[in-house]
């Protein structure tokens, strides 16, 4: 797997956070997750907890408090307010909105609390983003599909939760790619809310309406369901579709030799964000404060891609893991340290 850093990182305003808790030996971090509809989110939290434990080997006691529940945006704002009241040193959030948190993040900054978003970018100038470029994630799968179809064919898209910032950026990514290929016809787009059963039903409905489709762009969380409908319809050999990074799907992909490719959004993104946060709380300064992303406050992490060329490597990396476990990667403490002066 390619491990090189796709770096841009953090807006210049981020430097102000680096002295928040200089050389602290005890660090308390609040983790906010506003949606628990997938094992990916559970793995994300578990990997962040494991990253916190590793800091103890370096003599720094990092404790985490997790607020993880299916909540609307006001409910997740309440998470942040709770963390502010508790006096945490940093908040790491997987946000349900790109813009709604601006006022509460400003309150966190006023209280001297570092805020880092992960998995979905936020507009607040008082927060950083550490995660993948979701638009590039969507574009990578679309590029693979366009190349696999030799630049022509009928394609459908199965998207996640409408309005979610990560979903909207992914949609923008594939649309930008397909616009460059006039012979690829995007005949329909539907939402299946990152739910495997809904993805399966959506694919079944699309196959009934468009029996001549050649390709499917589908997000992880739903791809295994979509592929089940493709296989049940006997179209495994005639349809190319993006896939999943979970072990159970990669096992099927390997066994049935599916024509698939998968962008990786690693659950380790929150662990990466945590390691960056702890170093900033120690007073360290990033080597390259920069202006990445649409809100000019992002540090982008690598986006591995799985296809036929490295499928065996991905399968080997997942050996011994449960079926729901996702292929993952994250910045270790040592990797994160390389970003700082």
Side-chain-side CA neighbours of residue 300 (13 Å) = 20
Structure tokens at 154: 């009928």
Per-residue model confidence (pLDDT) at position 3: 33
Structure tokens at 205: 């409905």
Strand, coil or helix: what is 80? helix
The pLDDT mean for the chain works out to: 92
Domains of the chain, first to last: 12-132+266-304+321-337 (3.40.50.2300), 134-263 (3.40.50.2300)
Q: To the nearest whole percent, how much of the chain has pLDDT over 70?
A: 93
User: Which residue matches tokens 């985490």?
Assistant: 64
Strand, coil or helix: what is 10? coil
Per-residue model confidence (pLDDT) at position 288: 86
Return d(Cα 280, Cα 340) in angstroms, integer.
9
What residues are paired with 305 via a beta bridge? 263
Residue 283, sorted as left (phi over 0), alpha (psi -120 to 50) or beta, turns out to be left
pLDDT in tens, 285-330: 999 874 799 999 999 999 999 999 999 999 999 999 999 999 999 9
Q: With a threshold of 0.75, does the pTM exceed it?
A: yes
pLDDT in tens, 150-161: 999 999 999 999
- Cβ proximity of 211 and 139 under 8 Å: no
Q: Exposure string (b/e) for 231-260, b if CB count within 10 Å is 16 or more?
A: eeeebeeebbbbbbbbbebbebbeeeebbb
User: Which residue matches tokens 């434990």?
Assistant: 53
Angle at CA 259, nearest 5°, toward 255 and 262? 95
54: Cβ contacts below 8 Å, ≥ 6 apart: 332, 333
pLDDT in tens, 202-225: 999 999 999 999 999 999 989 999
User: Which residue matches tokens 């390619």?
Assistant: 2
Per-residue model confidence (pLDDT) at position 247: 97
């Amino acid at each position: 797997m390619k491990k090189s850093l796709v770096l841009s990182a953090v807006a210049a305003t981020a430097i102000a956070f680096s002295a928040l808790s200089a050389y602290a030996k005890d660090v308390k971090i609040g983790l906010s997750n506003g949606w628990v509809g997938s094992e990916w989110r559970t793995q994300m939290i578990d990997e962040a907890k494991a990253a916190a434990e590793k800091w103890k080997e370096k003599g720094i006691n990092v404790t985490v408090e997790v607020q993880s529940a299916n909540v609307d945006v006001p409910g997740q704002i309440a998470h942040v307010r709770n963390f502010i009241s508790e006096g945490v040193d940093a908040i790491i959030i997987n946000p349900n909105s790109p813009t709604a948190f601006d006022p509460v993040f400003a309150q966190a900054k006023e209280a001297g609390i570092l805020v880092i978003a992960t998995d979905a970018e936020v507009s607040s100038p008082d927060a950083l983003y550490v995660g993948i470029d979701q638009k590039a994630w969507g574009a990578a799968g679309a590029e693979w599909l366009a190349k696999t179809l030799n630049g022509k064919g009928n394609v459908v898209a199965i998207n996640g939760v409408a309005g979610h910032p990560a979903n909207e950026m992914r949609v923008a990514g594939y649309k930008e790619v397909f616009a460059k290929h006039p012979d690829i016809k995007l005949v329909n787009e539907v939402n299946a809310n990152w739910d495997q059963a809904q993805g399966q039903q959506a694919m079944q409905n699309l196959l009934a309406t468009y029996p001549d489709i050649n390709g499917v762009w589908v997000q992880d969380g739903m791809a295994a369901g979509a592929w089940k409908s493709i296989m049940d319809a006997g179209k495994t050999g005639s349809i190319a579709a993006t896939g999943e990074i979970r072990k159970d799907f990669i096992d099927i992909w390997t066994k049935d030799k599916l024509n698939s490719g998968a962008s990786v959004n690693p659950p380790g993104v929150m662990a990466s964000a945590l390691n960056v946060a702890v170093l900033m709380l120690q007073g360290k300064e990033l080597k390259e404060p920069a202006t990445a992303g649409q809100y000019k406050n992002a540090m982008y992490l690598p986006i591995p891609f799985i296809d036929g060329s490295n499928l065996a490597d991905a399968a080997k990396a997942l050996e011994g893991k449960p079926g729901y476990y996702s292929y993952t990667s994250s910045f270790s403490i040592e990797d994160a340290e390389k970003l700082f002066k």
